[in-house]
Amino acid sequence: MNKATRYPPELRERAIRLVREHRAEHSSEWAVIQSIAGKLGMTPETLRLWVRRDEVDQERRPGVTSAERERIRDPEREVRELRRANEILAPAVTVPFASFVYFCNQENSRMNAWVNTPERIAGLALPGVQFMYPGDRWDLTVGTFRSAEALARYRQDRDRIQLDPPPAPVESAQLESAVGDWLTRVRSKLLNRLLPQQMPPFDIYVPNIAKSVTVAPARGTGQVHEATAASADAARYVMCSQVAWFVFAFPWGVDTVWISGMFRDQQFATQGEHPIFRLARREPREARLVSALKFRSVAQWRRALQFWRWEKYFRLMSRVRPSQGARREQLPTLYDAQGS
C-alpha cells in the first residue's frame, strides 16, 4: 500500500494539531516534528510533509491545494465523465415533431409542393428516425415503434383537409386608398424621402376582382384599373384583393404576407425583390425601436441601443455572407417555385 495513504485521516489530523500545540516547547519546528513523529509512529519527514500540505490547504503557505492536486492528478476524469454522460443521454431514436406544416388556403396551397411531409422524411431512410401519431405510446422495455401506421394516419389526415376559400374581396376604392396612405407613410420618413424617387413603378394583378393596381413610388400614387390578359401576365405581383389591402393597410403587412406565401412574385427570378418592399420592411423594426426608446431608466436605454446595434450588424452580415452572387443563385430557386 502507498505510504502516503496508509495512515488514517484521524491520525494525520491529530499529528498536525500536536505539532502546532507544542511548537513553543521546542527550539525549532523540526524538533517538535521529530518528537511527535517518534511518539505516533511515523517518520519525521512524513509528518513534515503533512504539516506543509495542511499549511497550503489553509492558505498559510503558497502552493497547490489538496483539492486542486486531486483534480490535476487525473486530468482525464472529467472527459471520461462527460463521455459516459453522452453515452447515457444519447438518443436511441429520433421522433421528429413540430416540423410539418400545411398551407390550407387557396391563395397559398401551391406552397405544399415544397413543404416537408412525414413521407418525405421517412423516404430519406435516416438511421434511428421513427414516427409517432398523437396519442401513441412507446414502451421503453420493448423499444419498437408503429411508424408505418403513424405515417398512414398522417396521410389520411392530410387527404381530408379542405382548403379554405380566398379571403373576402375588398372594394377597389378601399384598396386604392390603402396604397396611397401607405406610400405617403413610407415617403414621410426622413431617410426615405429621396429613395422612392429612383424606384420603378410596378403592377399588382388582383384576380378575384379582375383589377390591376399600378403603384408608382416616385409619384406616390396607386391607381386601380380594369385588368386585361396582357396586364395580368405583365404584373409583378399576383394576390387577392384582401391580401393586397392588408399589405398596404398595416406597417407589418409586407412582413406578414411575405411569410405566409399569400402572393406570387412573377419577376423575382430576374429582378429580385422590389426595393420599395425592402424599404417597407424597415418600418415595423423602426417602430419597435421607437417604442423601446421610451425608456424609464438608463439601463433600458442602453439595452434598446444594444439591440438596435446588433440588429444592424446581423442585417449587414446577412448581405455580406454569402457573396451577392451566391445569394442570387440560391434565391431564385425558391421564388421560381413560389411564382409557378
The reply to whether 231 and 289 lie within a common domain is yes
The reply to whether 319 and 285 lie within a common domain is yes
Weakest-pLDDT range from 72-81, 136-145, 206-215: 72-81
The reply to whether 202 and 333 lie within a common domain is yes
pLDDT for the residue numbered 84: 74
Distance from CA of residue 309 to its chain's centroid?
18
Residue 81 falls within a domain, yes or no?
Answer: no
CB 328 within 8 A of CB 272: yes
Which ranges of the chain would DSSP assign to H, the alpha helix?
A: 9-21, 29-40, 44-57, 66-73, 77-89, 118-123, 147-159, 172-188, 229-234, 241-249, 253-260, 268-271, 275-280, 282-292, 298-320, 324-339
pLDDT band at 273 (very low <50, low <70, confident <90, very high): confident
Residue 210, pLDDT above cutoff 90: yes
Residue 242 falls within a domain, yes or no?
Answer: yes
Count CB-CB contacts under 10 A for residue 286: 13
pLDDT for the residue numbered 203: 95
Last residue of a domain, one of 116, 150, 165: 165
Question: CA nearest 35: which of 44, 27, 45?
Answer: 44
pLDDT for the residue numbered 336: 36
Q: Which residue did the predictor score with more confidence, 41 or 292?
A: 41
Residue 156, pLDDT above cutoff 90: yes
Residue 39, pLDDT above cutoff 90: no
Residue 113, pLDDT above cutoff 80: yes
Residue 82 falls within a domain, yes or no?
Answer: no
pLDDT for the residue numbered 176: 93
CB 105 within 8 A of CB 262: yes
Write out the residue range of the structural domain in which residue 156 sits.
Answer: 91-165
Residue 246 falls within a domain, yes or no?
Answer: yes
pLDDT for the residue numbered 139: 73
The reply to whether 135 and 261 lie within a common domain is no
What is the arithmetic mean of pLDDT over 120-131? 84
Residue 13, pLDDT above cutoff 60: yes
> How many structural domains is the chain composed of?
3
Omega cis (within 30) before 322: yes
Q: What is the DSSP letter of 165?
A: P
Residue 105 falls within a domain, yes or no?
Answer: yes
> What is the tens place of the pLDDT at every residue in 288-340?
555 545 555 666 666 666 666 666 665 665 555 444 444 433 333 333 333 33
Weakest-pLDDT range from 204-208, 259-263, 287-291, 295-299: 287-291
- Structure-block grid coordinates of residue 205: 394583378
pLDDT band at 10 (very low <50, low <70, confident <90, very high): confident
Residue 83 falls within a domain, yes or no?
Answer: no
Average pLDDT, the chain: 77
Sign of CA dihedral 311, 317, 319, 321: negative
Last residue of a domain, one of 118, 145, 165: 165
pLDDT for the residue numbered 284: 55
Residue 253 falls within a domain, yes or no?
Answer: yes
Residue 16 main-chain phi, psi, to 5 deg:
-65, -40
Classified as helix, coil or strand, 310 is helix
pLDDT for the residue numbered 72: 65
Residue 295 falls within a domain, yes or no?
Answer: yes
CA atoms within 13 A on the CB side of 128: 5
pLDDT for the residue numbered 82: 74
What is the arithmetic mean of pLDDT over 192-209? 79
Largest CA distance in the chain: 115
Helices 9-21 and 44-57 pack at an angle, to 10 degrees, of: 90
CB 305 within 8 A of CB 295: no
Start-to-end C-alpha separation, the chain? 81
pLDDT band at 239 (very low <50, low <70, confident <90, very high): very high
* Distance, CA of 240 to CA of 244 (rounded, Å): 6
Residue 250, pLDDT above cutoff 90: no
Q: Which residue did the predictor score with more confidence, 128 or 143?
A: 128
* Distance, CA of 248 to CA of 179 (rounded, Å): 5
